[in-house]
Structure 1
Amino acid sequence: MSVVVSIDAHRTAAAPARERVGVLLVNLGTPDSANAAGVRVYLKEFLSDPRVIENQGLYWKLVLNGIILRIRPRRKARDYQKIWNTEKNESPLKTITRAQSDKLTAAIADHDHVLVDWAMRYGNPSIRSRLDALIAQGCDRLLVVPLYPQYSAATSATVCDEVFRVLADKRAQPTLRVTPPYYDDPDYIEALAVSIQQHLATQPFQPEVIVASFHGMPQAYVDKGDPYQAQCVATVNALRKRMVLGEDKLLLTFQSRFGFDEWLQPYTDKTMQRLAKDGVRRIAVVMPGFSADCLETLEEIAQENAEIFKHAGGEQFTAIPCLNDSDGGMDVIRQLVLRELQGWI
């Protein structure tokens, strides 16, 4: 018996102390550089994910490698250059997500055994690198926070896929939790409403219509059971109720369609044209599906769709910033994280 006790005591003494909790914020991703080469690497990883493009057959591989990755990187690089954070030489999405991580660290500093980090699903810093870092620092419990208010297989689920892939080769796996979507969370709806009101108070005009633009997805994905569209509708309905706006004053649209398949409608760019042709001269656009400003908000909406609206006869256009690392935005993330850490802290 004494030999067994001695061996167990030796094992206990040699085992590392693992008492920390890791929190990993994850956003979609970004190229490492605003040139064609950097965008090509990013697009290849992104468009090779079967959660994003479900049919990864031979035809798609030929189109991806033979056409898209030859042409699209140069075009997208020019778009990234319009919004690039030249001081830090990185995309705004990376700058903002880092700030969200830093501010969350400060906001929960009284829980000194909780470590906060951040990652991108595509590009850098990778989920693998940051999970490895948290585990190396003694985190035996992990909370993964996909920074998408609305769930979809192409966003939230692929974050989980990658986390599970990373953990699959770990002999000592940490206990894992994943935050749920927060599309109708009262804190989130309140933060959206306040951000809209605060931004509009700085403008020289009041919009006749507010457009809530969400990232689109193929209609077929929803037909197969993806809850994304229903959650977008729930977000807008809750926001209408909070702001006391009718369906004709707060519209729901979908942007960023790609390829030739039917995507969720109504399309944002077509709505811009229709509103202007119908005599609407002043609009504001809010993007409740994005937790941080990125190419799709800063270039596609604030620049491209503004031009579409004005070209069709519109006069005044404003894009409302995402919640980003604002006080309201950080309160949403902090409340979400603290709620999901219950029992661990």
Structure 2
Amino acid sequence: MSDPFDIDPPLQPLRTGILLVNLGTPDALEVGAIRRYLREFLSDPRVVELPRALWLPILYLYVLTTRPAKVRHAYAAVWTEQGSPLRAYSLQQLAGLRAELARRGHDLTVELAMRYGNPSLRSGLDRLREQGCERILAVPLYPQYSASTTATVIDEIGRQLATFRDQPEMRFIKRFHVEDGYIDALANSVREFWQAHGEPEKLVMSFHGLPRAVVEKGDPYFRDCMQTANQLAARLGLPRERWLATFQSRFGRTPWIEPYTEPTLRDMARQGVRRVDVMCPGFVAECIETLEEIAMGVREAFIEEGGEDLRYIPALNARPDWIGGLADLVEKNIRGWA
């Protein structure tokens, strides 16, 4: 152990670390593991903005006693040998970013953490500090900013750093919803899909929903989503009548931002639209919301109402152009550090 009172301590290079952060996932396809994950996720006051005295009894007496078994069936439909798709693709993104940054000549330490579940944010910070990182760039993998996603990552990192005696210097990426690397990768994925399968009558961009009250209080999420949708449509050269932005994953009875994805697709089928492609630009890695909710559930609903085909355009995952865009984002935000 070094002497803390050494009057001639050796100078150490200031190493920079990158912490990729995604939402999280249960550790296993078991009701108990799903319950632990949901408890952590839904206990976050940034996620459910109800008075604690009202929400916590509902959470513990109803949601956590009934929902885990129901959610297990959804996870089972998309589970892989590597665990949940979110975990598998996040690890691929981690490996891809490490390789791309090294190829560009950067000597950076890159780690992955989840806001809820494992690997935890604390473990990610600890791994970076153990490798000598004095400067850390946190990269929440949420293209559009919301208090319920990006802000809660920043909150939790702050809580963890409050226990560090020797804190690292921190930077955070707030959003990347209109960054060229992100929009280009989305556009390329659509073009490649259409080249292989032909174009649909309409393209639906389905984003995760939020309660209307949250946006009315000043959350910029809806604005960010619409800016992404407009930029992507412009990059693809789509006229306004050929695309639509919708919002999925509504939870509870309060009004959420509209239009809702599944009811909208049902209406489109009833109105005579036969072929639709759906993508989820707000998710950079496949997860239960993209695969089970959209590619399976919404597709079934569309066909049930008379539609002929609903095709899901995959998330960016570890596409080389997206990994390149992610590396561009990192380079832009570590200027002056490395």
TM class by shorter-chain length? over 0.9
Aligned to 2:243: 250
- Using the size of structure 1 for normalisation, the TM-score is 0.94
Larger Rg: 1
1:94 aligns with 2:87: yes
Contact 1:92 1:294 in 2 (8 A): yes
1:185 aligns with 2:179: yes
Structure 1 residues 9 and 129 mapped into 2: Cα distance closer, same or farther (>3 Å)? closer
Structure 1 residues 234 and 262 mapped into 2: Cα distance closer, same or farther (>3 Å)? same
Q: What letter corresponds to residue 296 of structure 1 in structure 2? A: E
Which secondary structure state, in structure 2, belongs to the residue aligned with residue 323 of structure 1?
coil
Which secondary structure state, in structure 1, belongs to the residue aligned with residue 109 of structure 2?
strand
Which secondary structure state, in structure 2, belongs to the residue aligned with residue 100 of structure 1?
helix
Contact 2:86 2:287 in 1 (8 A): yes
Question: How many Å separate the matches in 2 of 1:112 and 1:210?
Answer: 38
Deviates more, 1:74-83 or 1:107-116: 107-116
Structure 1 residues 45 and 8 mapped into 2: Cα distance closer, same or farther (>3 Å)? closer
Residues matched between the structures, number:
335
Q: After TM superposition, list the pairs within 5 Å mapping 1:149-228 onto structure 2.
A: 149-203=143-197, 205-228=198-221
Q: C-alpha displacement at 1:292, in angstroms?
A: 0.6
Aligned to 2:40: 45
Aligned to 1:4: none
- Using the size of structure 2 for normalisation, the TM-score is 0.96
Contact 1:48 1:56 in 2 (8 A): no
Aligned to 1:261: 254
Which secondary structure state, in structure 1, belongs to the residue aligned with residue 240 of structure 2?
coil
Q: After TM superposition, list the pairs within 5 Å mapping 1:3-42 onto structure 2.
A: 10-13=6-9, 17=12, 19-42=14-37
Q: What letter corresponds to residue 133 of structure 2 in structure 1? A: C
Structure 1 residues 173 and 77 mapped into 2: Cα distance closer, same or farther (>3 Å)? same
Contact 1:143 1:177 in 2 (8 A): yes
Question: How many Å separate the matches in 2 of 1:244 and 1:317?
Answer: 21
Contact 1:214 1:255 in 2 (8 A): yes
Question: How many Å separate the matches in 2 of 1:297 and 1:143?
Answer: 27
1:125 aligns with 2:102: no
**Residue ranges of structure 1 left out of the alignment (5+ in a row):** 1-6
Q: What letter corresponds to residue 312 of structure 1 in structure 2? A: E
- Deviations 1:60-106 (CA, angstroms, capped at 9, x unpaired): 11111111101100010110011001x22x10101111111111111
Question: How many Å separate the matches in 2 of 1:8 and 1:288?
Answer: 50
**Residue ranges of structure 2 left out of the alignment (5+ in a row):** none
- Deviations 1:41-73 (CA, angstroms, capped at 9, x unpaired): 000000000000011422211111111101100
Aligned to 2:62: 67
Q: C-alpha displacement at 1:180, in angstroms?
A: 2.9
Give 1:312's match in structure 2, choosing from 293, 301, 305.
305
Question: How many Å separate the matches in 2 of 1:222 and 1:102?
Answer: 35
Which secondary structure state, in structure 2, belongs to the residue aligned with residue 254 of structure 1?
strand
Give 2:265's match in structure 1, choosing from 246, 264, 272.
272
Q: What letter corresponds to residue 31 of structure 2 in structure 1? A: A
Q: What letter corresponds to residue 271 of structure 1 in structure 2? A: T
Q: What letter corresponds to residue 68 of structure 1 in structure 2? A: V
Which secondary structure state, in structure 2, belongs to the residue aligned with residue 159 of structure 1?
helix
Question: How many Å separate the matches in 2 of 1:339 and 1:221?
Answer: 30
Root-mean-square deviation (CA), in Å?
Answer: 1.5
Contact 1:149 1:181 in 2 (8 A): yes
Percent identity over the alignment is 45
- Deviations 1:132-174 (CA, angstroms, capped at 9, x unpaired): 1111110000000000110000000001011111101111110
Q: C-alpha displacement at 1:317, in angstroms?
A: 1.2
Structure 1 residues 8 and 308 mapped into 2: Cα distance closer, same or farther (>3 Å)? closer
